[in-house]
Structure 1
Amino acid sequence: MNTRYDVAIIGCGEAGIFAGYELMRLCPQLKVLILDQGADIYTRSCPIVAGKVKECIHCKVCDTMCGFGGAGAFSDGKYNFTTAFGGWLTDFMDGREVMDLIDYVDSINVRHGATTEVYSTATPEAKALEKKALEHDLHLLQARCKHLGTENNLKILQSIYETLKNYAEFRFHTTVDKIEAPGDGYRLVTGKGDTVECTWLIAGPGRSGAEWFSNQCKALGLELLNNQVDIGVRVELPAQVFEHITDVVYESKLVYRTKQYGDQVRTFCMNPYGHVVAENVEGINTVNGHSYSDPALRSENTNFALLVSNRFTEPFNEPYRYGKHIASLSNMLAGGVLVQRFGDLVKGIRTNPHRLAKSFTRPTLTAAVPGDLSLALPKRQLDDIIEMIYQLDKIAPGTANYDTLLYGAEVKFYSARLALSGELETALPGFFAIGDGAGVTRGLAQAGASGVKVARVIAARLEQ
């Protein structure tokens, strides 16, 4: 087995994949290794999705989160053409360059089977929605958007994998226990006891590897900057409630600043006619959502996240651990994901199986356990969420219905961001950090763009 490579990429998520893909195009002569603790795109299989179990059994490595495609592999594939959300790449480079990178990543996806249909923000209907939202102090962040679909997203990744595997060497089911910087490149110590040496190192650890990556950076003496902590719930309601919005813009990002605390709350990951699903992040069950493009696979509900963003000051420096702690409380109460009717939450009563059975909104995540979110989420965040639901009800009447379902906890795990150059390089020369787990992106488009950026930086230096 080879131990010396030109480039090693940690993580097979969107960022790592597109870093490898662009290196394949620009530097076909390089020896490239891509490592991931998960499986390849064909053998990733969640026992819940496969129908083998009804609830999370805490697999040692979660196939929903890890492996080729990362956490995005089983997402519904929303691809947003914007710098307004989805990451912070404009902190490192010009907005025009970021958009060019996003368009380029999309062109690769199209080459591998992605749709060319785009939801536009320039239509009269989209402008009318934006005005209606503003009348109620809700701010609609609009962007051109593609919906790849959960099933089509998987096929696109399979096609990319078939191309990329002929260029790069993949090592799946391989953890990296330690990153070392001996001075002449980098050395990776794997969980299998092997060592890998490389000249260039690209870290795209993804959400599931965010805490691990932060610890590695601390050990290497690299400066970490605090990122925000996003905590909330996933809302599920009849699709008709948001139909007049999702039929026009599909992915509606609505932002609101609460009157009680002045906190920012936003909708995130809108899934029309979708399904609520559970995720396992290092033994912690959280909740997410999917949406299929095939009408035969759709549900009668729409789901979306409501996330409260909080930024902390010193001495707080562990946003990842804070998010895990909040999520673990709902796990403690429910043994997994907890669900509660909105009306029960407002009245201060626990949703039990009998009350849930009376709900007109039928849960798509049947393994969720009825309970009381007020015992799991901090009061401030819960107050923010309740205020936001009443505000959304003004533009989408029915959002605040008694039977609207709230699943908890939804937590977005992002590591504290590294201090990086405009080329996404750390203070250690030749060591780059990309993607969601490095705290620089938050979604498919910018994650892929960050990978392409770093690959181009390496290619340009090789030409010097």
Structure 2
Amino acid sequence: MAQNYDVVVVGAGAAGVFMAYEFVKLDKNIKVCIIDQGGPVSKRKCPIDGKKVKSCIHCKVCSIMHGFGGAGGMSDGKYNITNNFGGDLYTFTGKEKAIELMQYVDKINLEMGGQDAKLYSTTSSDIKAMALKYDLHLLDAQVRHLGTDRNMQILQNIYDFVKDKIDIKFYESVQGITGKENDFTVITDKDEYHCSNAVVAAGRSGSKWISEICDNFGIKRRSNRVDIGVRVEIPAAVFEHITSKVYESKIVYRTKKYGDLVRTFCMNPYGEVVTENTNGIITVNGHSYADPALRTENTNFALLVSNTFSEPFKDSNAYGESIARLSNMLGGGVLVQRFGDLVAGRRTNEHRFGQTFLNPTLKATPGDLSLVIPKRQLDDIIEMIYALDKIAPGMANIDTLLYGVEVKFYNSRVDVDENLETAVKGLYVLGDGSGVTHSLSQASASGVFAARTISEKFN
């Protein structure tokens, strides 16, 4: 027999976590349940230790991607307070309201253990001026860096705050949602949950499942883009004059050869390169820590090329997946290549890799990225590296490491109204799974916003 709730939230990622917090804070006696196929914060641990386990072993449920906090939980905890990137939440809430919501999320993070986390500003005029000389554009934002370690502690504190007021079902996989307006049944591999409000917040990793739910309910979707690129690893000293002032330097460059946009993403000073398992595909990402004892001598960040497709092609995520699968096929996981080898047109083998002066932070397979990444995107990345070398000499060093591939999947934009509610009343889609947000701050803000909207029904 189905359990009854006022609200059932599918996904305990950033949107689900902050939605739970806001429901508890509002204290309107709303019966809420959150379901996630991962585990609590204390159980989230990737088995890769660099010693006994050096690469992804394809766990049934990836602890990096799933569990309380979602994929953002084990990230480096960067909250960008801006409407300039990270999603389009402001198109639903208005620009001022979107910033207000992100600042509210920031306030929660500080109260829950992030009070010592530094707030950076990317509006440093000297760096912006230096970048502009070479047609590099530094986007404006405020950035709160929590660090992976502090981020997990904050999530634990939020969990402790909400766990006795709402029900959280871990290690349950949602199979589907059935029903009609304000009358839904959420079906998992273990149970059924009946509710008047169903919230889909399954994140990017749930993109295929979200598409199926939308199709079943006749909810319109629009194809979105996919970003293809590499994760760059360099000595921290190369970018230190920039990261010490702005930390998350979001730099955009339009290539001269093709006119494509290339951007830096997820800057991790003194961090480490890590792997992610998304629907069985191994890609790369980066972490950095607040604790100085956990820092490395390297900085890593992604270089991503945006790909938006015209008709008749609609499945941009499948395109990104095919490239990532090819990398997995050739490298048994992640490939790594020295920049000098790439521009020389030669494969990085074990011998050449062993000669690098840089100490890599991820165990990856030396190889040739030109066999994986399409020529146009690879040309864009190479041109961007040479452009960055003008403001950060050493970027184009022979030993600069490129890990591939990094793919940022963007869910198809789900057709929702100003309350993030679909045409099916009572069915909401929010967070990165909606295609509306692409960042921790905006996904979290969408959870707060939707919780307030739903709560108004229970006055």
Asked whether the two chains share a fold, i.e. TM above 0.5, the reply is: yes
Structure 1, 236-245 or 71-80: larger mean CA deviation: 71-80
Per-residue CA deviation, residues 105-124 of structure 1 (Å, 9 max, x unaligned), is 111111111135311345xx
Deviates more, 1:291-300 or 1:111-120: 111-120
CA contact (8 A) 2:231 2:285 kept: yes
Distance 1:141 1:80 in 2: 11
Maintained 8 Å contact 2:181/2:426 = no
Distance 1:352 1:173 in 2: 41
Amino acid at match of 2:119: V
1:215 is paired with a residue whose SS is helix
2:17 matched to which residue of 1?
17
Please tell me whether residue 85 in structure 1 is matched to residue 82 in structure 2.
no
Aligned counterparts of 1:201 and 1:27: Cα–Cα separation in 2: 19
Q: Match for residue 343 of structure 1? A: 340
1:268 aligns with 2:265: yes
Deviations 1:218-249 (A, max 9, x none): 12211001111111000000011100000000
Task: Quote the Cα distance in structure 2 between the aligned partners of 1:252 and 1:42.
Answer: 32
Give me the TM-score of the superposition, normalised by structure 1.
Answer: 0.96
Query: 1:329-362, CA deviations, whole angstroms, 9 ceiling, x for partnerless residues?
Result: 1000000010000010111100011100001112
Change (3 A) 1:430 1:236: same
> Following the alignment from structure 1 to structure 2, what is the Cα–Cα distance between the partners of residues 397 and 185?
60
- Superposed, 1:335-414 pairs within 5 Å as 335-366=332-363, 368-414=364-410
Given that 1:317 and 1:416 are in contact with CA atoms closer than 8 Å, whether structure 2 keeps it comes out as: no
- Aligned residue for 2:337, secondary structure, equals strand
> What letter corresponds to residue 191 of structure 1 in structure 2?
D
Q: Say whether residues 1:320 and 2:317 are aligned partners.
A: yes
Change (3 A) 1:23 1:204: same
**Of 294, 307, 310, which residue of structure 2 is paired with 1:310?**
307
What displacement does 1:27 show?
4.0
Query: Are the counterparts in 2 of residues 115 and 148 from structure 1 also a CA contact under 8 Å?
Result: no
| Residues 1:202 and 2:199 are matched in the alignment | yes
The residue matched to 1:145 in structure 2 has which SS? Answer: strand
Cα distance, 1:451–1:370 mapped onto 2, change above 3 Å: same
Which residue of the partner structure matches residue 43 of structure 2?
43
How far the C-alpha of 1:202 sits from its partner, in A, is 1.0
Cα separation, 2, equivalents of 1:409 and 1:22: 37
1:132 aligns with 130
**8 Å Cα contact 1:211/1:320 also seen in 2:** no
Q: Which residue of 1 aligns with 2:454?
A: 458
Instruction: Using the TM superposition, name which of 325-334 and 41-50 deviates more.
Output: 41-50
CA distance in structure 1 between the partners assigned to 2:166 and 2:141 by the alignment: 34
Alpha-carbon distance in 2 for matches of 1:377, 1:50 = 27
Structure 1 position 181, deviation (Å):
2.4
Do the aligned partners of 2:181 and 2:427 also contact (CA within 8 Å) in 1?
A: no
Counterpart in the other structure of 1:54: 54
Aligned to 1:437: 433
After superposition, give the CA deviation of every residue in 1:272-326 in whole Å (9 maximum; x if it has no partner).
Answer: 0110001111110000000111111111110000000011122222222221111
After superposition, residues 51-200 of structure 1 pair within 5 angstroms as: 52-115=52-115, 117-121=118-122, 126-192=124-190, 194-200=191-197
- The count of aligned residue pairs is 458
Bigger mean CA offset, 24-33 vs 14-23: 24-33
Asked if the contact 2:270/2:298 (under 8 Å) is kept, the reply is yes
The one of 231, 247, 251 aligned to 1:250:
247
CA distance in 2: counterparts of 1:262 and 1:197, whole angstroms: 51
Q: Is the CA contact 1:227–1:414 (under 8 Å) kept in the aligned structure 2?
A: yes
Note closer, same or farther for the CA distance 1:261–1:54 as it changes in structure 2 (3 Å cut). Answer: same
- Percent of aligned pairs sharing the same letter: 57
Query: 1:50 and 1:38, CA in 2 relative to 1: closer, same or farther beyond 3 A?
Result: farther
Alpha-carbon distance change, 273 to 144 in structure 1, aligned in 2, over 3 angstroms: same
Partner amino acid for 1:55?
S
Structure 1's 24 and 460: CA in aligned 2 closer, same or farther, altered over 3 A? Answer: same
**Cα offset, 1:28, TM superposition:** 3.6
Q: Give the distance between the partners of 2:208 and 2:243, measured in 1 at CA.
A: 34
RMSD: 1.3
**Secondary structure of the corresponding residue to residue 400 of structure 1:** coil
Query: Deviation of residue 49 (structure 1)?
Result: 3.9
Q: Does 1:3 align with 2:32?
A: no
How far apart are the structure 2 equivalents of 1:52 and 1:36? 29
Q: Which amino acid aligns with 1:149?
A: G
Per-residue CA shift, 1:390-420, capped at 9, x if unaligned? 1111111110111100000000122111011
Tell me by how many angstroms 1:93 deviates.
Answer: 2.0
Secondary structure of the 2:121 match is coil
Is residue 2:217 matched to residue 1:220? yes
Structure 1 letter corresponding to 2:11: G
Asked whether the equivalents of residues 30 and 458 of structure 2 are also in contact (C-alpha less than 8 Å), the reply is no
